[in-house]
Amino acid sequence: MANPATLRKLVKRYEALRSAHARLGTSESGRHLEDVSYTLCVTTGTRTVPDALIAAETQLRAVPSAGPPASPAALSEVELTA
């Protein structure tokens, strides 16, 4: 099971890049979307983005809410680069 903060960050990054690619449609935005899609699949142990999103949702639902959101320092433990 992936670190919940990392998983949340990946899902948010995927959603932002999917939206950006829909607006821009550039090869660069496509590469960024492919990169985060791959990372999301690897992190969740799946082969497709829809399966990865379902797995992420399932894993995140299994984690009890533990007060306020993590600090920005805690969320930066995994950085996505292109």
| pLDDT one-digit tens code per residue, 16-60 | 999 999 999 999 999 999 999 999 999 999 999 999 999 999 999
C-alpha angle 28-32-36 in degrees, rounded to nearest 5: 170
Per-residue pLDDT at 74 exceeds 70 = no
Does the pLDDT of residue 65 top 60, yes or no?
yes
DSSP letter, residue 64: P
Q: Give the residue carrying structure tokens 């492919």.
A: 34
Q: Quote the domain boundaries for residue 23.
A: 4-63
Query: Does residue 8 belong to any structural domain of this protein?
Result: yes
Residue 37 lies in a domain: yes
Q: Is residue 80 part of a domain?
A: no
Q: How confident is the model at residue 69 (pLDDT cuts 50, 70, 90)?
A: low
* 75 within a domain of the structure (yes/no): no
Amino acid at the residue 72: P
Query: How many structural domains compose the chain?
Result: 1
- Dihedral in degrees, nearest 10, Cα atoms 45, 33, 53, 16: 140
